[in-house]
Structure 1
Amino acid sequence: MGLGSRLGQLIELLVAALVLAMIAGQLLGQPAVVGYVETGSMAPTLAPGDGFVAVPAALAGPIEEGDVVTFRAEQLHGGGLTTHRVVGETERGYVTRGDANPFTDQDGVEPPVKDDQIVAVAWRPGGEVFVLPGIGAAVTGVRAALEGGQTMLAQFLGTRAVLGTQGFAYLLFAVTGAYYVVSTWRDDGAGRDRTRERDAGVDPRTITVVGTLAVVLVVTAAMVGPSGAQRIDVVSAEFESPNPGVIERGTTGTVNYTVTNDAAVPAVVYLESNDGVAADPSTTTVSARTERTVVLAITAPGETGHYRYYLTERRYLAVLPTPLIDALYRLHPWLPVAVIDAVLGGVVYLALGAALGSERARSRSRDRSSWLRRLRSRVP
């Protein structure tokens, strides 16, 4: 294979990885490597459809005025992800505004943004946002087509198993597997010259990489999707109340918090807070498809009123020894995710590589026996 062919394959893999990363970010509820905006609120910095390099908040360091951040809004856009610039800071949180908006978000219905709500920070080399023009439009179209296909298939099959992130992985495996089987069957019986077909077809290595990325996407979704900042509402009152959400001002009360694990494997969950919320226990292991109750200790402010607190939940699939997960977590909260993705992705990559081989799907010679030929020879 020539240098040009190898370069072309590398570009294909990079484009596939980029698109999958952006789609994954939308499915997981936070940008993955690259984010993009859908409205004109950040013009002229970011036009609708423009992308940006999204640095995870845990890696970005302290938030400063002028940073463009992606946060989980409470009121804006129905409570979804919003990308706006930090224009100030108060004791209650950050003040944000779209570059094209005349008023801040806090002049409207959105409360000040807290650290636990921020999921990513736009990369600003030299002080300006690094813009990827129009890349979001392509991802939106791809995602819409995928979701439309999933919906139609779900209606046809009468099942919701093909919907969502996990359904996307099922479909990807089904399509790549079917393509490989059909191509091998056809080429084993076609008798084409091997030299003419050497460069035809899809490289199984591409299928292996894409399939591995799909599995990593599902695994990451199982850990990152349920994680993040969880809002807890508390009322500081002048009197004691049997209502667990009402705490006498200046005193410490307790609130029950339920940790649910819908995954098919146990999960190690860490609970942390920048608002002074103390969880007991702060680390817990939740069995597959079960839940566990954790007690939160919250001190009500001296002034009466409604207050909101945030508890950050970080969870990891217990496919590694718990002491190892704990050691990685102490170094950095994203390290366990990276290592678990690498381990499971590596296993899948080796398994798919062994099953598909390294030659292109159409470069099977007539004198090379395959399991499909042996199977077909036994069929009357």
Structure 2
Amino acid sequence: MALSDTVTTVQQTIATTLGTRSLLGTNGLAYLFFSATALFYAHGWWTGDKRRTTRSRKRETNLDARYVAAGFALLLVAGATAAMVVPAGTHEYGVVSAEFESEQPTVIPVGQSNDVEYPLVNSGVLPVVSYVEPASDGVEVAESRRVLPAGGQAAATVTLHAAEQTGYYRRYVVEHRYLALLPVGVIDALYEMHPWAPIVAIDVLLGVPFYLLGVALLGTGRIRDRSRDGPSLLGRLGRRFR
């Protein structure tokens, strides 16, 4: 919850500063992640170019290519994890157990219950699997698992039960969300084991092939730059695609 609140606050601050809503939600998180990665690479290229122009002597820089591949794989995994963790979390309903009828869905006569809708929105470009479960007493959820396509919307029916005594009571539901990169049955089985198990499996599914692809492109040796006029890492990658 602290991580989700922090990321949401940062997104809202940047979106307000730039005057755009496109940086909010899951898509906005992806844009910010891509922008930060691009700025990081541009900064490294710029500072490296300045050092090359100010030095006349030859130099040698050693960097293990596997560390480079692992670093980009970790960035990808971090972005995927944030896309699953940030939109999820715990939601609170304030229920008033009253002795009268009311049009407010959370003001419920003593001992009775009422249904409310929990909105589910997928603003990303990948389908997601969402689970909404009770997180306190006095709550029931019908059809807790929903599969949302890219840009899809749905609603889970949450039944709130009023206490036998009048007063104000807090009811909670918790949502867990996962990128639908595994079969739904596999995600169901992993979710039954632990809510974090699907996240770990999806991160491994993304990170390991990306790392292996990076190693295949960069090799397993050290990246060396012996001359100020030598080809850059980007240039060497380009040659491998030719």
Number of paired residues? 220
1:132-143 equivalences in 2 (<5 Å): none
Asked if 1:328 corresponds to 2:190, the answer is: yes
The alpha-carbon distance between structure 1 residues 332 and 307, as it changes in their structure 2 partners (threshold 3 A), is same
1:183-332 paired onto structure 2 within 5 Å: 197=60, 200-273=61-134, 274-332=136-194
Give CA deviations for 1:172-196 in whole Å, capped at 9, x if unaligned. 2553478579979x99xxxx98xx7
For the 8 Å contact 1:250–1:301, the answer to whether it is kept is yes
Gaps of 5+ in 2: none
Distance in 2 between residues matched to 1:260 and 1:347, nearest whole Å: 29
User: Are the aligned partners of 1:255 and 1:295 in contact in 2 as well (CA < 8 Å)?
Assistant: yes
Counterpart in 2 of 1:143? none
Q: Structure 1 residues 277 and 305, CA, compared in 2 at 3 Å: closer, same or farther?
A: same
**1:216–1:344 contact (8 Å) kept in structure 2:** yes
**Please, what TM-score do these two structures have when normalized by structure 1?**
0.49
Deviations 1:69-121 (A, max 9, x none): xxxxxxxxxxx9xxxxxxxxxxxxxxxxxxxxxxxxxxxxxxxxxxxxxxxxx
Match of 1:40 in 2: none
Could you say which residue in structure 1 is the equivalent of 2:220? 358
Partner of 1:63: none
Listed as ranges, the gaps of 5+ residues in structure 1 are 1-24, 31-79, 81-146
Q: Check 1:345–1:355 CA distance in 2 against 1; reply closer, same or farther (3 A cut).
A: same
> Within 2, Cα distance between the matches of 1:173 and 1:357?
23
| TM-score normalised by length of structure 2 | 0.74
Contact 2:96/2:166 (<8 A) preserved: yes
Quick one: distance in 2 between partners of 1:203 and 1:168?
Answer: 24
Report the 3-state secondary structure (helix = DSSP H, G, I; strand = E; otherwise coil) of the residue aligned with 1:346.
helix
Are the counterparts in 2 of residues 202 and 360 from structure 1 also a CA contact under 8 Å?
Answer: yes
Question: Following the alignment from structure 1 to structure 2, what is the Cα–Cα distance between the partners of residues 176 and 207?
Answer: 12
Q: CA deviation at 1:300?
A: 0.3
- Map Cα deviations across residues 293-315 of structure 1 (whole Å, 9 max, x no partner): 11111110012222211101111
Contact 1:169 1:215 (8 Å CA) reproduced: no
RMSD over aligned CA atoms reads 3.9
- Matched residue of 1:202: which SS? strand
Contact residue 113 and residue 159 of structure 2 kept, 8 A: yes
Query: Which residue of the partner structure matches residue 10 of structure 1?
Result: none
**CA distance in structure 2 between the partners assigned to 1:309 and 1:160 by the alignment:** 31
- Per-residue deviation, 1:265: 1.0
In structure 1, what is the Cα distance between the partners aligned to 2:31 and 2:73?
A: 13
